[in-house]
Amino acid sequence: MSFPALSSIMDSMIDWLFGKPLEAGAKAPDFTLADQDGKKHTLSKLRGKNVVLVFYPADETPTCRAQLCEFRDEWAEVKAKNALVFGVNPGSADNHARFRDNRSLPFPLLVDEGQQVARMYSASGLMVRRTVYLIGPDGVIRYAERGKPEPAKVLAAAG
C-alpha cells in the first residue's frame, strides 16, 4: 500500500473516531429517504416542525433499543414540542419494520442505504456513529451531539 493511500485511511479513521457532528446554527442538509413501509420523507417538506434525527448503528442492539425507546417513552413531550422523530440507519426496511413493531415505536425508521445521509450529517463510518440532531422549523440545526443524550436535553433545543 502506498503512503498516500495509508494516509487517507488513517485520516478517515481519525475523523470517524474524533470528528464532530455538524454545528448548531448550520443549515441542515436536505434529503429524501424511505421509511420501513416505503413511504418517502423529505426534510425540506417538514418545515414548520422540529425534526429530531437519531442516527444509530443497528436495529435491536441494546443501546440503540434503549435510545429509541426513550424517545417513544417521551412521546407526549415530543408532540408538545411540535417535533417529529426519525431513526436513521442503513438497515433494511424489513429489519426496521420488525424493530419498530417489536418496540412499538411511534415514529418512522428511515433506510439510509450506503450511509448517504449519515455522510451528509457527519455520522458515517465503518458503522453509523450514534449522533442526534434537532433541526428547527426553519431548517437550521439547533442541537447536535454524539452518543445517547436524554430526549429532554434534545427537545429543550426546540424552545
Known catalytic membership, residue 64: yes
Cell numbers describing residue 105? 415505536
**CA–CA distance, 93 with 112 (Å, rounded to integer):** 10
Euclidean distance between CA atoms 59 and 107, whole angstroms:
14
Side chain identity at residue 37, one-letter code: D
3 state SS of 22: coil
Report the alpha-carbon distance of residue 145 to residue 112 in Å, rounded: 19
Catalytic one among 22, 64, 68, 118? 64
* Contact of 151 with 78, CB cutoff 8 Å: yes
User: Which among 31, 159, 6, 5 has a CA at the least distance from the CA of 86?
Assistant: 31
Positions annotated as catalytic residues are 64
